[in-house]
Amino acid sequence: MSNEKTHAPAPNFLRNIVEADLASGAHTRQGLPPVITRFPPEPNGYLHVGHAKSIYTNFGLARDFGGRCHLRFDDTNPEKEEQEYVDSIMDSVRWLGFDWDYKGPVGAGNHLYFASDYFDKLYEMAEYLIKVGKAYVDSQSAADMAANRGNFTTPGTNSPFRNRSVEENLQLFRDMKAGKYKDGEHILRAKISEDAMSSPNMNMRDPAIYRIRHAHHHRTGDNWCIYPMYDYTHPISDALENITHSICTLEFQDHRPFYDWLLEVLSEGGFFAKPVPHQYEFARLNLTYIVTSKRKLRQMVEEGIVDGWDDPRLPTMAGMRRRGFTPEGIQLMCERTGVTKSDGWIDYSVLEGAVREDLDPKAPRAIAVLRPLKLIVENFPEGQSVECTSPVHPHHPELGHRTFPFTRELWIEEEDFMEVPTKGYFRFTPPVGDQPGARVRLKYGFVAECTGYDKDENGKVTAVRVKYFEDSKSGTPGADTYKVKGNITWVSAEAALEAEVRLYDRLFTEEKPDAGGKDFKEFLNPKALEIVKAYLEPGLKNALPEQRFQFERHGYFVADRVLSQPGKPVFNRIVTLKDSWAK
């Protein structure tokens, strides 16, 4: 796990539970740390920002209380799982700042697990449930089983196969394992109680625990053609790994009675020693302006709406990393959104604000002109240059200065010139009659006065002409004699680095794009990505992939970890300097 906390954790109900358990010695066991949690993703897609909250909660609790957290892959559905997803999940957990190599005084080691590690034990326990009358093979069709299950207002109906003998159930289950039946021909169900099909909790109406799937598994190959269900696998995996606090999101709250029932039955059979794990639920992270459904994320990838799982517009952790979000910023967002038992929505600006707060004190500054307009300094000698300097970071003088040349031709932003100025506009404007053009300070350089401008045949301004004042250079005594209201950024046209800059924004225009049965694709933001040819100060040529900067005036940017080449970085906008979506 991460070696240090990035932010002081706030009190919450889970921390209170762990503190109380530690005080009572509830989970004191020889050779094991007092707190063991787990993060159990299914390897059928890339992790998203909601998983980041779960990672932070599980790994963070274990870290803060001297315990360990297991990374366990719930790989019981071979038709949807791939090694690619396993690798990406491991990479994302490490990138966020955590790992599963525990170095504590007891129970040290690498705690990476797969549910498929337990297939033999899971099968053995299923046979035990059959032998003690707690499971049976159902041969109904899927449609009949669904109809007989009932609903929230109507009790279910017992399967006509519910009272098969132990011997018949065992033989059928072993034949299922031997591959004698087709997919869906039989299924193994738990037999909770005689009146289980009348339970108000639908998850207790003889839940399925094994199904037939003639599918190749990414780890066990073709060794199995029956696979355990998640609700069956999950509690057993927790117990086998001595998990103390099994933490999941609120949608699993109604699954907890089966969790408890199963571990109680199996502990009575001698499979586990008590105390067995206990499940606790907290509210999942619901962020506005995104979708986190794996199905919808996969749809956007497969339909080419985005460019892969790591597209910086996606809320996947791979996408967030490529966008330039920092692990520390994401952790800060997780801490600020808290751990509660009440569902609610968090505005996306909370994430962006946390990332800004993390980047501001550590991102080096740089100048970029994103929408360039030529500036010609008519009284500056051609072929010459003057070196200008600026601090690498305004609040960290120990980081030194960066240098860049002032030349006859510069690039400025299009918005820094206006033919007919509006009220309160303090950048370059042309002379009018006897009135001279506006004076503006070229930041870190000189004061210049607009003398005119050029247009093309379509009336578009192609260049702004100015004269500069040689004694006005920033940092010299003469600079103080010039009082101007405008102060703009620029780069030398001769020395600037031409680069592709990708201006990312929120993927959706609607706060809840998939709520209430809406078609989320109707709310795709057409401005979620704009690619511009920009000019950057020359030192950025050496920017390394994933190196972050604050482009003055524009926001925080990162050198793309995929597209950047040595000497030719491509930059992604992480976030603007301020919340441009604020109402």
Domains of the chain: 13-117+231-283 (3.40.50.620), 119-230 (3.90.800.10), 284-359+497-583 (2.40.240.10), 367-492 (2.40.240.10)
Q: Return all residues near 464 (Cβ < 8 A) that are at least 6 apart.
A: 373, 374, 375, 376, 412, 417, 428, 450, 452, 453, 454
**Closest by Cα among 560, 530, 532, 533 to 547:** 560
pLDDT over 60 (residue 203) = yes
Q: How confident is the model over 24-57, as pLDDT tens digits?
A: 999 888 899 999 999 999 999 999 999 999 999 9
Distance of CA 178 to the CA centre of its chain: 42
Q: With beta carbons less than 8 A apart as the criterion, state whether 574 and 325 touch.
A: yes
What's the mean pLDDT in 282-309? Answer: 96
- The answer to the question of whether 42 is labelled as a binding residue is yes
Q: With beta carbons less than 8 A apart as the criterion, state whether 255 and 47 touch.
A: no
Q: How confident is the model over 390-444, as pLDDT tens digits?
A: 999 999 999 999 999 999 999 999 999 999 999 999 999 999 999 999 999 999 9
- The answer to the question of whether 230 is labelled as a binding residue is yes
What's the mean pLDDT in 7-17? Answer: 86
Residue 5 pLDDT grade (very low, low, confident, very high; cuts 50, 70, 90): low
Angle at 404 between CA 402 and CA 406, to 5 degrees: 145
- The answer to the question of whether 382 is labelled as a binding residue is no
Sign of CA dihedral 233, 236, 241, 247: positive
- The answer to the question of whether 569 is labelled as a binding residue is no
- The answer to the question of whether 57 is labelled as a binding residue is no
Active site residue 294: yes
Q: How confident is the model over 61-76, as pLDDT tens digits?
A: 999 999 999 999 999 9
- The answer to the question of whether 4 is labelled as a binding residue is no
The CA distance from 322 to 549, in Å, is 14
Among 80, 131, 177, 294, which one carries the catalytic annotation?
A: 294
Question: For 39, how many CA atoms within 13 A lie in the half-sphere containing its CB?
Answer: 28
- The answer to the question of whether 284 is labelled as a binding residue is yes
Cis peptide before 78, with omega less than 30 degrees from 0?
no
pLDDT over 90 (residue 309) = yes
Q: Which amino acid is at 30?
A: Q
Strand-pair partners of 549: 557
Q: With beta carbons less than 8 A apart as the criterion, state whether 138 and 172 touch.
A: no
Q: Is 297 in a helix, a strand, or coil?
A: helix
Q: Please report the pLDDT score of residue 3 as a whole number.
A: 45
Among 80, 94, 219, 284, which one carries the catalytic annotation?
A: 284
Distances (CA, A) of 211 to 196, 215, 216, 542: 20, 12, 14, 56
Distance of CA 302 to the CA centre of its chain: 19
Determine what percent of the chain falls in helix, strand and coil, rounding each to the nearest 5: 30, 25, 45
CA-derived radius of gyration, the chain: 31
Among 15, 29, 42, 553, which one carries the catalytic annotation?
A: 42
Q: How confident is the model over 77-107, as pLDDT tens digits?
A: 999 999 999 999 999 999 999 999 999 999 9
The pTM (predicted TM-score) of the whole model is 0.93
Active site residue 284: yes
The CA distance from 459 to 469, in Å, is 30
Query: What share of the chain has pLDDT > 90, as a percent?
Result: 94
What's the mean pLDDT in 114-132? Answer: 98
